[in-house]
């Protein structure tokens, strides 16, 4: 009896199931046909749908949408087999284009997303990460002609750190931007020659060193590790692109239920357009890989132009947008190398800092991680607070945000892999208003400093022993402070807030945050977030720290490299600029110095960055792009035109009337400030036009055009060193930095002692009024002199 009851129950359940999901064949008025299981009026379960245009899907359905596994084919011959969700190609699957292009990997809403491998119809292959149909992240691209690139991609273009190997054996390991070499890098030629230097938009730009084939060369282990994090990313990419990599499904989209007629119409439209989308994304049809291939290979035979020489000779060179403007021939033994004595000295110096050894060998990593955790927390906490004017209490001792960050996390803080620490944020409302005053979006600020890319270490340009970090987008500099510097800044903050609020063109350092980290043992690290004055797409060829004093203000030759910040006596140029620009500059310098004098501040300096433009008459000497064997599919005319624009040779500086819609308005530390007026074009607001490079808004201290004239002082020049020109077009970047040194009793004693040995007006430490006057006078007479009138 019990057995009979079970059989009857099973038959009843089967009947109900058949009622719910019956098998039918349906024809629709638009010509579509469905054969399979139906629930209510919608396909549900296994079924086959044939559209009137010939497209066919056979697989799983859920409530009228393709969901699960299936196979779809198009009349063109293209097909997709894999996972679907809500009517979209979503999950893991293989798409075969009618031209033979095959993609296998992750999908999201009909687009390549995640890890995948694409083999193009011209036999090029890309293996790596995708984002919404575009190469984004780490990946390997192999061209049919034998060239290979492994590294980072952004928006479908080679961008970031990566290694390109050409078929002839040449290798470039370094930084890229928009498919072109841009930034620091190491180029090894197939014959064994080596060039270490910097590039801008595919052209050598800045200082570098060429080691001929067979010569003694430096170790590349340190030189090639431009960013250890990037190296780890490349290793991870290698793992991700293994042949048998498993893919995870991600159903992040909410699947909506709609009627059969609307659903089938959407499916038919979407599937018919997918085949066309593949053509648009095919590099053979004009994507960056194909159009940049000739550009990337401009140095394919570059080694042929590099002269080989005696094994011991080394060539120190300097380029401006591909033009060689200076060369010094030296013996390898004369090159500056760190010896053991120097290494010991540097370690000894490091130990003098009270906080340097807090984190042990991994101090930089843990410090950066703690900074990011704290800034993310405090900015997220203060941003939702309704905007209001600052009050006197916002500058007081109680205007602080404190939080404890245990390693295992808490109700208010996330778990992390650093060490336990206490966090303090000073005057959060004041700095929140300063960020808004400088037109910084809170989300962009956090992403810049706290994003996945992290912070980069940069060498300290001074004697303070401070550690400096730079955000990955170059917009912000983070500097550690001493305790007395923190006190000076907090005391100055109310007047600083008023000054920068009153003068939007101020040259004084822009401060965005003031923080402190305390470890359980009581050791403290204080730091400030500032705007990077050299945040620009142009290469900075020279950096100067100018105080107006001369005693000891020079740099030893063996200490100079491409990143060295030079001093007053190292300056070999004077700069002539438009009359109106010069007036605006000194008006603001006077106002800023007056403010610093009122705060009893000394020892500040003008940080000056120079971008040189190659002389017009040498534009024909730039190494021309050498195309390797042409690809099967040439880039489209439009792509070739864009590529030509990127490689156009600079033609000097042009001032044109300001057009807001034509200039780069990307958010950054320079976004606040007036567009300056120029006397030379009728007292109108101006943009700086660099043909083939950029159109830039001219602001005080930002994108300022000038002519640099080399000072002829009759100094003896080494026979091995040749500088070809005395006058250059330059673009200037500048700001007043190091404004946290008060004229204290200790400084008064230092002034008295040094005055016994040297001329009091040549030493750096003088009383604030004298310091300001000397500073302005030095800038007016020595750095930016007024043009002589005939």
Is residue 438 predicted with pLDDT exceeding 70?
Answer: yes
* Strand, coil or helix: 19: helix
455-482 b/e with 16+ CB inside 10 Å = b? beeeeebeebebbbbbbbbbbbbbbbbb
Instruction: Say how far residue 538 (Cα) sits from the centre of its chain.
Output: 13
Is residue 642 predicted with pLDDT exceeding 90?
Answer: no
- pLDDT, residue 616, reads 59
Gap between the Cα atoms of 758 and 474, Å rounded: 40
- pLDDT category of residue 80 using cuts at 50, 70 and 90: very high
- Lowest-pLDDT choice from 183-192, 239-248, 386-395, 460-469: 239-248
- pLDDT, residue 664, reads 66
What percentage of the chain exceeds 90 in pLDDT? 43
| Cβ atoms within 10 Å, residue 502 | 10
Gap between the Cα atoms of 537 and 700, Å rounded: 17
Gap between the Cα atoms of 482 and 50, Å rounded: 74
Contact 59, 73 (CB under 8 A): no
Gap between the Cα atoms of 114 and 91, Å rounded: 9
* Residue spans of beta strands (DSSP E) within 202-280: 203-204, 206-211
- pLDDT category of residue 649 using cuts at 50, 70 and 90: very low
Gap between the Cα atoms of 488 and 481, Å rounded: 11
308-341 b/e with 16+ CB inside 10 Å = b? ebeeebbbbbbbbbbbbbebbbbeeeeeeeeeee
Contact 148, 241 (CB under 8 A): no
Residue (of 325, 324, 322) closest to 649 by Cα position = 322
DSSP per-residue string spanning 722-765: EE--SEEEEEEEEEEE----B--HHHHHHHHHHHTTS-TTTSS-
- pLDDT, residue 215, reads 81
| Across 243-271, average pLDDT | 34
- Lowest-pLDDT choice from 143-157, 356-370, 732-746: 356-370
Contact 373, 415 (CB under 8 A): no
Is residue 253 predicted with pLDDT exceeding 60?
Answer: no
Is residue 257 predicted with pLDDT exceeding 70?
Answer: no
| Across 556-564, average pLDDT | 79
pLDDT digits (tens, 9 = 90+) for 258-311: 333 333 334 334 333 333 333 333 333 333 333 333 333 333 334 433 444 446
Is residue 153 predicted with pLDDT exceeding 80?
Answer: yes
What percentage of the chain exceeds 70 in pLDDT? 73
Q: Which two tokens stand for residue 682?
A: 């009728």
- pLDDT, residue 337, reads 52
- pLDDT, residue 340, reads 37
Residue (of 37, 30, 35) closest to 61 by Cα position = 37
Is residue 644 predicted with pLDDT exceeding 60?
Answer: no
Pairing of strands 194-200, 206-211: antiparallel
Sign of CA dihedral 724, 646, 162, 454: positive
362/657: higher pLDDT: 657
- pLDDT, residue 597, reads 96
pLDDT digits (tens, 9 = 90+) for 13-33: 444 444 455 678 888 888 888
Q: Which two tokens stand for residue 764?
A: 């750096």
- pLDDT category of residue 97 using cuts at 50, 70 and 90: very high
Q: What is the mean pLDDT of the chain?
A: 77
Gap between the Cα atoms of 78 and 121, Å rounded: 13
Gap between the Cα atoms of 604 and 548, Å rounded: 10
Contact 776, 593 (CB under 8 A): yes
- Lowest-pLDDT choice from 582-596, 621-635, 667-681: 621-635
Angle (deg, nearest 10), helices 428-437 and 483-502: 40
278/549: higher pLDDT: 549
- pLDDT, residue 336, reads 58
| Across 570-581, average pLDDT | 92
- pLDDT, residue 335, reads 60
Q: What are phi and psi of 592, to 5 degrees?
A: -70, -40
47/285: higher pLDDT: 47
Cα 174–Cα 175–Cα 181 angle in degrees, nearest 5: 95
Gap between the Cα atoms of 319 and 619, Å rounded: 12
Contact 316, 557 (CB under 8 A): no
Q: Cβ contacts of residue 732 below 8 Å, gap of 6+?
A: 575, 577, 608, 609, 610, 611, 701, 704, 705, 706
pTM of the model: 0.70
- pLDDT, residue 354, reads 40
How many Å is the Cα radius of gyration of the chain?
32
- pLDDT, residue 464, reads 67
Q: Cβ contacts of residue 787 below 8 Å, gap of 6+?
A: 576, 579
Q: Which two tokens stand for residue 498?
A: 């008023």
Is residue 530 predicted with pLDDT exceeding 90?
Answer: yes
- pLDDT, residue 474, reads 87
Which residue shows structure tokens 């086959």? Answer: 48
- pLDDT, residue 787, reads 78
Contact 450, 376 (CB under 8 A): yes
Gap between the Cα atoms of 455 and 575, Å rounded: 34
What is the DSSP secondary structure assignment for residue 769, as one 8-state letter? H
Is residue 244 predicted with pLDDT exceeding 70?
Answer: no
713/746: higher pLDDT: 746
- pLDDT, residue 715, reads 47
pLDDT digits (tens, 9 = 90+) for 700-729: 999 999 999 886 554 444 444 445 457 888
Question: 356 vs 347, 425, 566, 631, 705, CA distance in Å?
Answer: 11, 21, 25, 54, 40
Gap between the Cα atoms of 474 and 536, Å rounded: 8
| Across 758-770, average pLDDT | 91
């Amino acid at each position: 009896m019990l057995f009979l009851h079970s059989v009857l129950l099973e038959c009843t359940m089967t009947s109900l199931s058949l009622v719910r999901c019956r098998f039918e064949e349906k024809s629709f008025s638009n010509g579509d046909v469905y054969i399979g299981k139906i629930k209510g009026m919608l396909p549900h379960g296994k079924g086959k749908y044939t559209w009137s245009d010939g497209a066919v899907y056979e697989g799983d359905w859920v409530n009228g949408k393709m969901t699960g596994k299936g196979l779809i084919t198009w009349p063109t011959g293209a097909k997709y087999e894999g996972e679907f969700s809500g009517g979209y190609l979503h999950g893991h699957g293989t798409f075969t284009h009618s031209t033979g292009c095959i993609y296998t990997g992750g999908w999201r809403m009909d687009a390549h997303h995640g890890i995948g491998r694409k083999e193009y119809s011209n036999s090029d292959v890309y293996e790596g990460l995708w984002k919404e149909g575009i190469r984004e992240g780490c990946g390997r691209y192999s061209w049919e002609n034998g060239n290979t690139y492994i590294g980072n991609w952004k928006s479908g273009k080679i961008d970031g750190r990566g290694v390109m190997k050409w078929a002839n054996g040449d290798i470039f390991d370094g930084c890229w931007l928009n498919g072109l070499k841009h930034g620091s890098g190491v180029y090894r030629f197939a014959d064994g020659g080596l060039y270490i230097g910097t590039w801008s938009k595919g052209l050598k730009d800045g200082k570098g060193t060429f080691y001929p084939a067979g010569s003694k060369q430096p170790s590349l282990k340190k030189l090639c590790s431009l960013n250890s994090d990037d190296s780890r990313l490349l290793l991870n990419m290698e793992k991700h692109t293994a042949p048998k990599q498993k893919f995870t499904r991600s159903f992040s989209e909410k699947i909506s239920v709609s009627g059969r007629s609307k659903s089938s119409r959407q499916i038919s439209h979407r599937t018919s357009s997918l085949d066309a989308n593949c053509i648009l994304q095919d590099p053979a049809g004009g994507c960056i890989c194909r159009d940049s291939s000739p550009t990337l290979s401009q140095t394919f035979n570059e080694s042929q132009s590099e002269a080989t020489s005696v094994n011991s000779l080394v060539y120190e060179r300097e380029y401006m947008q591909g033009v060689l403007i200076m060369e010094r021939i030296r013996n390898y033994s004369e090159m500056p190398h760190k010896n053991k004595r120097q290494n010991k000295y540097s370690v000894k110096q490091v130990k003098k800092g009270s906080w340097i050894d807090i984190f042990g060998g991994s101090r930089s990593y843990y410090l950066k991680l703690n900074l990011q955790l704290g800034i993310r927390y405090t900015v997220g906490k203060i941003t939702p607070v309704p905007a209001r004017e600052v009050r006197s209490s916002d500058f007081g001792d109680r205007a602080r945000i404190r939080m404890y960050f245990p390693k295992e996390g808490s109700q208010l803080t996330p778990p992390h892999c650093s060490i336990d620490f206490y966090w303090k944020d000073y005057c959060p409302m004041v700095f929140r208003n300063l960020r808004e005053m400088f037109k910084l979006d809170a989300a962009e600020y956090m992403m810049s400093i706290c994003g996945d890319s992290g912070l980069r270490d940069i060498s300290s340009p001074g004697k303070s022993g401070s550690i400096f970090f730079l955000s990955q987008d170059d917009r912000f500099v983070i500097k550690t402070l001493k305790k007395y510097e923190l006190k000076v800044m907090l005391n100055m903050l109310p007047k600083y807030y008023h000054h920068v609020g009153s003068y939007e063109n101020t040259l004084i350092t822009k401060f965005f945050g003031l923080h402190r980290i305390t470890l359980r043992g009581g050791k403290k690290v204080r730091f400030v977030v500032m705007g990077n004055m050299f945040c620009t797409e142009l290469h900075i060829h020279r950096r100067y720290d100018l105080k107006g004093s001369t005693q000891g203000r020079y740099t030893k030759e063996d200490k100079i490299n491409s990143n060295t910040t030079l001093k007053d006596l190292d300056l070999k140029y004077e700069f002539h600029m438009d009359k109106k620009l010069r007036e605006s500059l000194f008006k603001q310098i006077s106002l800023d110095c007056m403010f610093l004098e009122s705060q009893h501040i000394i020892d500040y300096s003008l940080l000056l960055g120079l971008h040189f433009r190659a002389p017009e008459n040498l534009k024909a000497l730039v190494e021309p792009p050498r195309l390797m064997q042409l690809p099967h599919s040439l880039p489209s005319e439009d792509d070739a035109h864009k590529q030509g624009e990127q490689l156009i040779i600079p033609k000097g500086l042009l001032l044109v009337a300001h057009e807001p819609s034509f200039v780069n308005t990307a958010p950054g530390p320079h976004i606040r400030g007036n567009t300056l007026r120029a006397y030379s074009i009728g007292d109108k607001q101006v943009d700086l036009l660099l043909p083939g490079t950029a159109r830039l808004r001219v602001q005080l201290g930002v994108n300022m055009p000038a002519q640099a004239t080399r000072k002829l002082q009759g100094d003896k020049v080494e026979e091995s060193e040749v500088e070809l020109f005395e006058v250059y077009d330059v673009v200037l970047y500048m700001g007043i930095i190091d404004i946290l040194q008060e004229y204290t009793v200790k400084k008064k004693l230092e002034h008295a002692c040094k005055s016994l040995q040297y001329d009091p007006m040549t030493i750096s430490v003088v009383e604030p009024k004298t310091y300001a006057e000397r500073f302005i006078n030095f800038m007016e007479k020595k750095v930016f002199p007024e043009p002589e009138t005939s």
